[in-house]
Homo-oligomer: A and B are copies of this chain.
């Protein structure tokens, strides 16, 4: 039941309680209760308008691997990229690199500036490797709510 509501709200965050009510077969006020509790419990963390990167002029998407040896680098690195809007994601990953960044900029010139003025400006960062995204076949923020058939 809650899964169904979450599913619908992931797809369309503006779905009215009237519509949700019809879809799940509960009264409007019951739906209101359940959604409120989903937010209180932290299952639903927020509602956001999604913006087309291209419409915003951000035509270049890149993944940047970051490497360092000195563990002292981590704190200033995280602080810097945390306040950098061009960085959409920063993940601590296994393997030969420390971090993987997802970066959106306008052009290759701007990517170059990002690497030179933001990343290399952090003392101690030794290696980077950049992958340019040619096209994105899929990009969704909807999480699976049910177990897939290939895993039981």
Contacts and interface: CB of A to CB of B under 8 A. Distances in A.
Given A52-B43, A55-B41, A114-B150, A61 B91 contact: yes
When all copies of this chain in the complex are counted, the total is 2
Interface residues of A, number: 68
Contacts of A95: 131
Nearest to A113: B151
Given A55-B43, A113-B151, A134-B92, A9 B49 contact: yes
Contacts of A56: 6, 43, 143-145
Given A90-B138, A93-B131, 9 more contacts: A9-B48, A9-B49, A42-B55, A43-B56, A46-B50, A85-B142, A85-B146, A88-B140, A118-B150
